[in-house]
Amino acid sequence: MGLYLRKTLDNKAEVSVWQITETEQELIDLGSVPTDEMEEISLIRSEAQRKQKLAVRALLNEVFEDKMYLNHHDNGKPYLENCITNISITHTDKYVAIITHDEDDLGIDIESLDRDFSAVEKKALSEDEIEDLDDDRRNEQLAIYWCAKEAIFKRMSQNKVDFSEQIEVAKFNPKGEGELEATFIHKDGYEEDFELEYITFDRHVLVWVVG
């Protein structure tokens, strides 16, 4: 299908989503992947993971007028070698998504709601967050919690973050789309507050944070 969603936010960030329906070769043809990047992708054993990487490249070609050269810092954070625009990337087997902004730090995460998120409760949630869960929509809430914490983790770009202790997400009622409030607690005790947005579509949830 290709480009599934593209929207410019009030803060001038742009969110773009690609639905992966193409064959691997079709994605290669769409992406005009730089040779060194193609060599790295060819070493990936999983076809699904190769297609995700290629779909990111196809999405970059769709969003940017010029050919972008994608690289990653040592901590895994992506950056564009030939452009000052900040970028965050996420993917599932069915979708890839990016968020870009010319100045602000940002983070984005997507997950399939068909995944079982029960392990997230033990691994990533505080006692207060667990108490706020609703049994009827538990898995959906856990998915949103996880995406929100992952988005903030990407935004902060720090190593060894304790999701249950350092990232707090305020109570929310899951809807088709909405806003979330969260706090990142640095190891020295300093707290930073964030506002996130999320949307759900085709049994997926997408969460992003800017600023």
Q: Give tens-digit pLDDT for 146-193.
A: 999 999 999 999 989 999 999 999 999 999 999 999 999 999 999 999
Stretch among 49-53, 70-74, 163-167, 205-209 having the lowest mean pLDDT:
70-74
The pLDDT value recorded for residue 182 is 98
- CA distances from residue 105 to 78, 102, 137, 162 in whole angstroms, order as listed: 12, 9, 31, 20
Name the residue with tokens 């949830």.
Answer: 205
Name the token pair of 46.
């999983």
Chain segment 91-100, per-residue pLDDT in tens? 999 999 999 9
The pLDDT value recorded for residue 132 is 94
Q: Give the separation between CA 99 and CA 17, rounded to whole angstroms.
A: 9
The pLDDT value recorded for residue 94 is 97
Residues near 99 by beta carbon (within 8 Å), at least 6 away in sequence = 13, 14, 15, 16, 87, 88, 106, 107, 108, 208, 210
The pLDDT value recorded for residue 6 is 96
Whole-prediction pTM value? 0.95
How large a percentage of the chain has pLDDT more than 70? 100
Q: Give the separation between CA 1 and CA 20, rounded to whole angstroms.
A: 7
HSE, side-chain direction, 13 A CA sphere, residue 132? 17
The pLDDT value recorded for residue 75 is 85
The pLDDT value recorded for residue 33 is 85
The pLDDT value recorded for residue 147 is 98
What mean pLDDT do residues 52-58 have? 95
Nearest Cα neighbor of 119 from 135, 103, 142 is 142
The pLDDT value recorded for residue 36 is 86
Question: Three-class SS of residue 202?
Answer: coil
Q: Chain-wide mean pLDDT for the chain?
A: 95
Q: Give the separation between CA 157 and CA 66, rounded to whole angstroms.
A: 27
Going from the N-terminus, what domains does the chain have, and what CATH number goes with each?
2-103 (3.90.470.20), 110-210 (3.90.470)
The CA-based angle 16-33-29, given to 5 degrees, is 85
